[in-house]
C-alpha cells in the first residue's frame, strides 16, 4: 500500500507570519523606526549613531586584540626561554589563533561600516546649502529680538554656508567629480571646512549662554507678575520652562561633544584617541536621536 506524498513544508509557517504581523510590540517598534528613517534628519542621525558606535567598537576590539597578542607572545617567550642557551635568540612564526582572526575580521568590518556611514552622510549633506538658504530667509523675515543673538545667528549662517561650500568641493573632488585638484588642495579644503564648523560651535556656546541669560531674566519678570496668580497658570509655566531647560541642556551637551572633535579634525593627525573619538561622536549621536525618537512616537 503506497503512502501519499507528503506536502512540502511552507517556507514560513502561517503561525509565525501571523504572530510577526499582528504582535503589537515588534510592529510598534518597526513602525517607530520607520517613521524615524522617513525624514532626512532621522536618516542622518541614525547613520551618525552607527558611524561612531562602529568606531568605538573597532577601537575597543583593537585594544582587546593587542592585549591578547601580547599575552600570547609573553606565554611563548616564557616557555621558550627555558630551552634556550645564554644569548640565544629564536624567531618563530605561527598561524593566528581563530579568536585573533575573528577579532581582525570584526575590526575590519567595523571600520568599513564607519567609513561607509561617513561617506553616505557626506553625500546626503550635498543638499545642505538649501537648508542654509531656508535658515537665512527665516532669520531675515523673523530676526531674533536680541541684538547679540541676531549677530551670532547671522555669523553661524555665514560660517555654515562656507563649511558646506568647502566640504562639497573637497568631497566631490575626492570622488573625481571635480577634476584637477591635488590631494593637498582637497586636504586643505577639508581642514578649513572643519575650522568653519568649529567656529559655528564656538558661536553656539556664546548664543546658548545668552539665551540662558535672557530666559532667566524673563522668568524672574513672569514670577513677579504672577504673584497671587492662579496655581494652574504657574504649573503650566513651570512645565514649559522644564521643556525649555531640557532642550537647552541637550543643545549644550551636543556642542560640548563636538568641540574637541572639531579641534581633532582640524589638527594634522588629530589629537584624541580612537576611543575618545568614538565616545564623543556616539554621545552626540544619542543626544540627537533621543528627541527625534520621542517625536516619532
Q: Report pLDDT for 268.
A: 85
pLDDT of residue 157 exceeding 90, the answer is yes
Comparing CA positions, the residue from 259, 164, 162, 163 lying closest to residue 208 is 259
DSSP 86-97: TT-------PPP
- In the chain, the percentage of residues whose pLDDT exceeds 70 is 80
Rounded CA gap, 260 and 276, in Å?
10
For residues 193 and 163, give the distance between their C-alpha atoms in angstroms, rounded to a whole number: 5
Q: What does the pLDDT read at residue 119?
A: 96
Report the C-alpha gap between 104 and 115 in whole angstroms: 17
CA pair distance 237, 229, nearest whole angstrom: 12
More confident residue, 172 or 220: 172
> Would you say 285 and 48 are in contact if contact means Cβ atoms under 8 Å apart?
yes
| Range of weakest confidence among 11-20, 135-144, 172-181 | 11-20
**Is the predicted pLDDT of residue 17 greater than 60, yes or no?**
no
Residue 221 has phi, psi (to 5 degrees) of: -65, -40
Using an 8 Å Cβ cutoff, are 146 and 218 in contact? no
Q: Residue 69: pLDDT band by 50, 70, 90 thresholds?
A: confident
Q: How many residues are given for the chain? A: 297
Does the pLDDT value for residue 87 go beyond 80? no
Q: Specify the 3-state DSSP secondary structure of 182.
A: coil
Lowest mean pLDDT among 72-81, 106-115, 189-198, 277-286: 72-81
Residue 152 has pLDDT above 60, yes or no: yes
Mean pLDDT of 43-58: 96
Provide the 10 A C-beta neighbour count for residue 39. Answer: 13
For 105-146, the pLDDT digits (tens) are 999 999 999 999 999 999 999 999 999 999 999 999 999 999
Residue 222, C-beta contacts closer than 8 angstroms, at least 6 positions apart: 237
Sign of dihedral through CA atoms 288, 293, 295, 296? Answer: positive
Terminal C-alpha separation, the chain: 61
Decide if pLDDT at 26 tops 90. Answer: no
Q: What's the pLDDT band for 5 if we cut at 50, 70, 90?
A: low
pTM equals 0.82
Q: Is 280:260 a contact under the CB 8 Å cutoff?
A: yes
Arithmetic mean of pLDDT over the chain:
86
From CA 204, how far away is CA 198, in angstroms rounded? 10
- Average pLDDT score over residue span 68-74: 84
With cell 549644550, the residue in question is: 252
pLDDT on residue 233: 57
Q: How far apart are CA 38 and CA 154, in angstroms?
A: 30
Separation between Cα atoms, residue 161 and residue 232, nearest integer Å:
45
Per-residue pLDDT at 88 exceeds 80? no
Is pLDDT above 50 for 1?
A: no
Which of the pair, 43 or 80, is modelled with greater confidence? 43
| 226: confidence class by pLDDT, cuts 50, 70, 90 | low
Question: Are residues 204 and 156 in contact, defined by beta-carbon separation less than 8 angstroms?
Answer: yes
The pLDDT score that the predictor gives to residue 95 is: 75
| 294 DSSP assignment | H
Q: Which of 202, 204, 203 is nearest to 251 (CA)?
A: 204
Tell me the C-alpha distance between 214 and 207, whole Å. Answer: 11
Higher local confidence (pLDDT), 230 or 236: 236
Amino acid at each position: 500500500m503506497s503512502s501519499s506524498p507528503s506536502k512540502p513544508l511552507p517556507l514560513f509557517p502561517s503561525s509565525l507570519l501571523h504572530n510577526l504581523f499582528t504582535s503589537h510590540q515588534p510592529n510598534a517598534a518597526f513602525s517607530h523606526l520607520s517613521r524615524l528613517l522617513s525624514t532626512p534628519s532621522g536618516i542622518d542621525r541614525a547613520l551618525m549613531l552607527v558611524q561612531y558606535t562602529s568606531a568605538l567598537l573597532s577601537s575597543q576590539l583593537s585594544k582587546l586584540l593587542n592585549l591578547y597578542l601580547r599575552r600570547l607572545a609573553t606565554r611563548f617567550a616564557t616557555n621558550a626561554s627555558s630551552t634556550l642557551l645564554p644569548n640565544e635568540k629564536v624567531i618563530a612564526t605561527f598561524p593566528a589563533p581563530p579568536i585573533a582572526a575573528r577579532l581582525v575580521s570584526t575590526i575590519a568590518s567595523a571600520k568599513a561600516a564607519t567609513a561607509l556611514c561617513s561617506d553616505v552622510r557626506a553625500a546626503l549633506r550635498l543638499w545642505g546649502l538649501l537648508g542654509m538658504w531656508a535658515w537665512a530667509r527665516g532669520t531675515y523675515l523673523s530676526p531674533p529680538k536680541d541684538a547679540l543673538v541676531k549677530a551670532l545667528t547671522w555669523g553661524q549662517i555665514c560660517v555654515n554656508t562656507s563649511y558646506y561650500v568647502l566640504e562639497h568641493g573637497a568631497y566631490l573632488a575626492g570622488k573625481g567629480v571635480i577634476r584637477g585638484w591635488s590631494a593637498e588642495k582637497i586636504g586643505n579644503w577639508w581642514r578649513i571646512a572643519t575650522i568653519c564648523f568649529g567656529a559655528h560651535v564656538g558661536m553656539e556656546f556664546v548664543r546658548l549662554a545668552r539665551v540662558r541669560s535672557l530666559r532667566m531674566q524673563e522668568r524672574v519678570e513672569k514670577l513677579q507678575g504672577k504673584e497671587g496668580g492662579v496655581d494652574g497658570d504657574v504649573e503650566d509655566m513651570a512645565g514649559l520652562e522644564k521643556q525649555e531647560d531640557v532642550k537647552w541642556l541637550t543643545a549644550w551637551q551636543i556642542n560640548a561633544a563636538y568641540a574637541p572633535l572639531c579641534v581633532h579634525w582640524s589638527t594634522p593627525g588629530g589629537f584624541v584617541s580612537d576611543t575618545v573619538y568614538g565616545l564623543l561622536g556616539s554621545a552626540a549621536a544619542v543626544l540627537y536621536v533621543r528627541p527625534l525618537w520621542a517625536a516619532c512616537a
